[in-house]
């Protein structure tokens, strides 16, 4: 029994996701299908790429990860399959697969072209159902990746912003805001531990908002807190509240950390 994960912006108020599952089960009745999320902001490739990065390594060996954030559906954009040591990724070639594969070697890239694996006819607006679901189901059943189409050399990559480290400060930015209003930054624990001094202040728009703590409840209810989160990234939160709302944090908001004396 193979695992197929689904990460989309299709929402759950319509029939889109259920229909993809029907197609998957038609091809591969024993696939275990796991929803990552379907509530990505419509067309938000960066959010989809980040969600896939955050979750994919927690699945048992050999999963097929399908990510469909696909504003270009029906256009000339390519569809691809990426294979790494432990994972297979399926989606449009628009960058949505490119963060999850950042930290692992991509062993093969194939362009999805083999129409015999698709539903027929292929609609121009729902490749999740007609292309990605059946291709993933075939791959999960054991169809070799080279059957999906020709091997290609490259795929579209997002260029996520990188933090900059000075001697006694780091300047990064918010890359994701979660449902609790926690703001996840691009500053990781290794970079933080390289910062001299034990007294580390987090600032937004020149205003110090908190120090680094170990967990949310280390501060009183309603107080801001920064911690290394479960993705190993610096996260700014408010205990029992929304940091995004309180400090107007969005993707791209600059976050700086300065070590005290």
CB of 256 to its own copies, least distance (A): 22
Which segment (191-199, 201-209, 210-218, 247-255) binds its own copies by CB under 8 A? 210-218
Compute the distance between CA of residue 191 and CA of residue 206 in angstroms, rounded to an integer: 21
Sheet bearing 64-68, strands edge to edge: 32-37, 3-8, 64-68, 88-92, 79-83, 108-111
Using rule CB under 8 A, residue 218 touches its own copies: yes
Whether 48 and 9 have beta carbons less than 8 Å apart is answered as: yes
Compute the distance between CA of residue 112 and CA of residue 122 in angstroms, rounded to an integer: 13
Using rule CB under 8 A, residue 245 touches its own copies: no
Per-residue burial over 173-208, b = 16 or more CB atoms within 10 Å of its CB, e = otherwise: bbbbbbeebbbbbbbeeebbeebeeeebbbbbeeee
- Of positions 4, 38, 135, 174, contacts its own copies by CB under 8 A: 38
Task: Count other C-beta atoms under 10 Å from residue 55's C-beta.
Answer: 17
Residue 58 or 207 with smaller CB distance to its own copies = 58
Binding-site string for its own copies from residue 177 to residue 206, where x marks contact by CB under 8 A and - marks none: -xxx--------------------------
Task: Check whether the bond before 240 is cis (ω within 30° of 0).
Answer: no
Using rule CB under 8 A, residue 60 touches its own copies: yes
CB of 250 to its own copies, least distance (A): 15
Which segment (29-37, 163-171, 204-212, 253-261) binds its own copies by CB under 8 A? 29-37
Which segment (108-116, 125-133, 155-163, 248-256) binds its own copies by CB under 8 A? 125-133
CB of 129 to its own copies, least distance (A): 6
Whether 48 and 7 have beta carbons less than 8 Å apart is answered as: yes
- Of positions 82, 145, 191, 228, contacts its own copies by CB under 8 A: 228
């Amino acid at each position: 029994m193979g695992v197929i994960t689904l990460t989309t912006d299709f929402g759950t108020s319509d029939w889109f996701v259920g229909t993809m599952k029907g197609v998957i089960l038609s091809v591969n009745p024993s696939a275990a299908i796991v929803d990552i999320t379907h509530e990505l902001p419509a067309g938000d490739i960066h959010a989809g790429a980040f969600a896939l990065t955050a979750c994919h390594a927690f699945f048992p060996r050999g999963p097929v990860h399908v990510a469909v954030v696909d504003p270009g559906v029906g256009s000339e954009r390519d569809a691809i399959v990426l294979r790494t040591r432990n994972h297979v990724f399926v989606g449009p070639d628009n960058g949505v697969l490119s963060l999850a594969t950042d930290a692992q070697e991509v062993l093969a890239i194939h362009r999805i072209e083999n129409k015999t694996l698709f539903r027929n006819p292929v609609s121009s607006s729902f490749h999740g159902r007609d292309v990605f679901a059946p291709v993933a189901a075939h791959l999960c059943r054991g169809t070799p990746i080279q059957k999906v189409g020709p091997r290609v050399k490259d795929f579209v990559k997002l260029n996520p912003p990188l933090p900059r480290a000075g001697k006694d400060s780091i300047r990064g930015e918010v890359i994701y805001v979660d449902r609790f209003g926690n703001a996840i930054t691009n500053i990781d624990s290794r970079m933080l531990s390289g910062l001299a001094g034990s007294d580390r202040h987090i600032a937004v728009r020149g205003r110090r908002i908190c120090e680094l703590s170990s967990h949310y409840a280390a501060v009183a209810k309603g107080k801001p807190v920064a911690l290394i989160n479960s993705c190993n990234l610096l996260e700014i939160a408010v205990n029992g509240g929304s940091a995004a709302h309180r400090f107007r944090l969005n993707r791209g908001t600059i976050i700086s950390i300065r070590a005290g004396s």
